[in-house]
Amino acid sequence: MSTADSPTDLMERIVALCKRRGFIFPSSEIYGGFNGFFDYGPLGAELKKNIRDCWWNDMVRRRDDIVGLESSIIMHPKVWEASGHVAGFTDPLVDCKVSKQRYRADQLFFAAVVVDGKTVGYVSALESERTAEELQAAAENFKRKKAIQGKIEPVQPHDMTEAKPEEIPLIPSPATGEPGSLTPPRSFNMMFQTNVGAMTDGSSVAYLRPETAQGMFVDFKNVVDTGRVKLPFGIAQIGKSFRNEITPRNFIFRSREFEQMEMEYFIHEDADWAKCHQEWIAWCQAWLLSIGLPESHLSLYAHPKEKLAFYSKGTVDIMFKYPFGVQELWGIAARGNYDLTQHATASGKPMEHFDEATKKKFVPHVIEPAVGVDRILLAVLCAAYAEEDVKDEKGNVEKRTVLRFSPRLAPIKVAVLPLIKNKPELVDVAEKLYRKLKRKWNVFYDETGNIGKRYRRQDEAGTPWCVTIDFETIEKDGTFTLRERDTMQQKRITEAELFALLEEKVY
Ligand code: GAP
């Protein structure tokens, strides 16, 4: 379907389309941009809002067991001490002392160059889909340059967290190509700090939240006391989170300011947590399909037991095949009762639930599906993007770029197009229809350019339908031409049928 040559090309085209059509811009672009921050333009803001609305409707409004919450972004600093973020929300960081570049140690790979069983040097490469091939090529290049004779062995890639102290001075920096400038990995806390109030000393330090989840734990008691909820039940929240990522990358995939949609599902301590975990994994997969992501691009990754935090019972990520590789989209974690217990201990306020049946108090356990809005948006863009050869009205082959968004997510649901703009009878009908549709949906009115060009513009914006008001509309039965984005087929449709179509497809 897509004619892009390579994954890098494809990403570049998607990024270019996002800029050209007003989906996503680099933040503060007139000042050169700001790494890890992005702005959503008119189409992007609509697309993002539609993702949020679909999730909120399906997760909160259409269920009886989940309630919503909007907690503050800056919370008491003790929240982050109790949650473990102050001590442990870190990534391993490696500095290059010469270039001043910073790398995440687990994303910087190295390998020994081994010739005839002897290590003769080291090569390095940043993590990519082709890390091993790049390291192999670099090793062969190293051997050639140094005119070393003998048989080179296949490289064994390791990341910098695995480097032995004596190896670090020998590993070349990716920035300079020379060894000797990389520091040993050290822990870097990813929370953004700020000061609250007039003082800027240690006592006023606060943090921008790195996840929305803690709001749900801290307000657990408030919701239980006011929300008439009964176990099992969930609290859901959508909101911005902030992480000072060492290496923001892959466009909006890993940024420093992003939006999360998280839900904490509280269950009885004796409940079958594994079954509940599986049910939520299935729910999340089905939801991704409902917004149009193809099943072929989704897969599951179960975190190995030995890499889980001590309190965690299991984490499964739903992975998406992005052009730059298969990456985490949605994490579904079984977190036991760790978070509520931590906050109960630190605040001195009990977080227990009373079991009417056994007359016993206990701290509920939690299953947490946590996903990034921006990551979903990027997955949706990548899956929807296509370039095709099509024939114009004269039979000439031309390229069309199309975003095949599901109608649920499409930023513009319908474009209303009067066939010609200098015929008042046509324009009058078109404007009336446009105003009527606009009460319920985001629709677009376009009267400039020939009709073929107007269709193409809507294809690039991902608009599922165009409605053309033509002479048949005003001279015959009042029907319009409905042009379907994906098939490009056209048919006559009445106003009532158009409204019924939208009601059915946009929910
Ligand atoms: N409360 C659990 C939690 O926050 P996480 O795996 O760190 O877990 C959940 O984040 C989701 O948030 C991820 O699966 C991803 O979709 C999104 N996310 C995390 N860091 C991100 C970043 N730097 N940029 C964009 N999205 C991010």
Pick the residue whose CA is nearest to atom 12 on ligand 1.
372
211 CA → ligand 1 middle, Å: 8
pLDDT band at 217 (very low <50, low <70, confident <90, very high): very high
pLDDT beyond 80 at 335: yes
Task: Name the DSSP letter for residue 196.
Answer: -
Ligand 1 in reach of 330 Cβ (< 6 A):
yes
Per-residue pLDDT, 3: 44
The answer to whether 468 and 419 have CB atoms below 8 angstroms apart is yes
pLDDT beyond 50 at 466: yes
Ligand 1 in reach of 258 Cβ (< 6 A):
yes
260 CA → ligand 1 middle, Å: 7
176 CA → ligand 1 middle, Å: 32
The answer to whether 113 and 123 have CB atoms below 8 angstroms apart is yes
223 CA → ligand 1 middle, Å: 24
* For ligand 1, mutation pick of 40, 89, 211, 316 (most atoms within 8 Å of CB): 211
Per-residue pLDDT, 480: 96
Ligand 1 in reach of 372 Cβ (< 6 A):
yes
Q: Tell me the CA distances in angstroms from 254 to 103, 228, 241, 317, 378, one per residue in order.
A: 14, 38, 12, 16, 11
121 alpha carbon, distance to own chain's centre: 39
Structure-token match 């015929």, residue found: 423
- Mean local confidence (pLDDT), 65-88: 97
Q: What is the CA radius of gyration of the chain?
A: 27
Pick the residue whose CA is nearest to atom 16 on ligand 1.
372
Whole-angstrom Cα distance, residue 265 to residue 278? 13
Q: What is the dihedral of CA 374, 376, 377, 383, to 10 degrees?
A: 150
290 CA → ligand 1 middle, Å: 21
258 CA → ligand 1 middle, Å: 8
276 CA → ligand 1 middle, Å: 21
pLDDT beyond 60 at 271: yes
Per-residue pLDDT, 64: 96
Pick the residue whose CA is nearest to atom 17 on ligand 1.
372
**What confidence tens digit (pLDDT) does each residue in 277-324 have?**
999 999 999 999 999 999 999 999 999 999 898 889 999 999 999 999
Report which of 459, 224, 245 is spatially closest to residue 361, judged by C-alpha positions. 224
The answer to whether 192 and 208 have CB atoms below 8 angstroms apart is yes
pLDDT beyond 80 at 393: no
372 CA → ligand 1 middle, Å: 6
Burial (Cβ within 10 Å: 0-12, 13-18, ≥19) of residue 52:
middle
Strands 66-68 and 233-242 turn out to be parallel
Whole-angstrom Cα distance, residue 227 to residue 241? 25
**What confidence tens digit (pLDDT) does each residue in 480-495 have?**
999 999 999 999 999 9
Judged by phi (left if over 0) then psi (alpha if -120 to 50, else beta), residue 439 lies in alpha
Closest ligand 1 atom to Cα of 254 = 24
Pick the residue whose CA is nearest to atom 11 on ligand 1.
371
Strands 414-418 and 465-469 turn out to be parallel
Per-position DSSP letters for 279-330, written without gaps between them: HHHHHHHHHHHHTT--GGGEEEEEPPGGGS-TT--EEEEEEEEETTEEEEEE
pLDDT band at 255 (very low <50, low <70, confident <90, very high): very high
Which strand (E) or helix (H) includes residue 156?
none
pLDDT band at 391 (very low <50, low <70, confident <90, very high): confident
Q: Angle at Cα 207 formed by Cα 206 and Cα 213, nearest 5°?
A: 130
This prediction has a pTM of 0.93
Per-residue pLDDT, 227: 76
Per-residue pLDDT, 377: 98
Per-residue pLDDT, 203: 87
Ligand 1 in reach of 247 Cβ (< 6 A):
no
For the four alpha carbons of 145, 146, 151 and 155, in that order, the dihedral sign comes to negative
Pick the residue whose CA is nearest to atom 22 on ligand 1.
254
State percent of the chain over pLDDT 90: 92
- Mean local confidence (pLDDT), 163-170: 97
pLDDT band at 94 (very low <50, low <70, confident <90, very high): very high
**What confidence tens digit (pLDDT) does each residue in 417-443 have?**
999 999 999 999 999 999 999 999 999
pLDDT beyond 80 at 5: no
**What confidence tens digit (pLDDT) does each residue in 337-369 have?**
999 999 999 999 999 998 888 999 999 999 999
213 CA → ligand 1 middle, Å: 11
Per-residue pLDDT, 89: 94
State percent of the chain over pLDDT 70: 99
- Mean local confidence (pLDDT), 111-129: 95
Per-residue pLDDT, 228: 84
- Mean local confidence (pLDDT), 234-240: 98
Per-position DSSP letters for 98-140, written without gaps between them: TT--EEEGGGEEEEEEEETTEEEEEEEEE-STTHHHHHHHHHH
Per-residue pLDDT, 202: 83
Per-residue pLDDT, 199: 85
pLDDT beyond 90 at 77: yes
Whole-angstrom Cα distance, residue 306 to residue 122? 30
Closest ligand 1 atom to Cα of 328 = 14
Pick the residue whose CA is nearest to atom 20 on ligand 1.
254
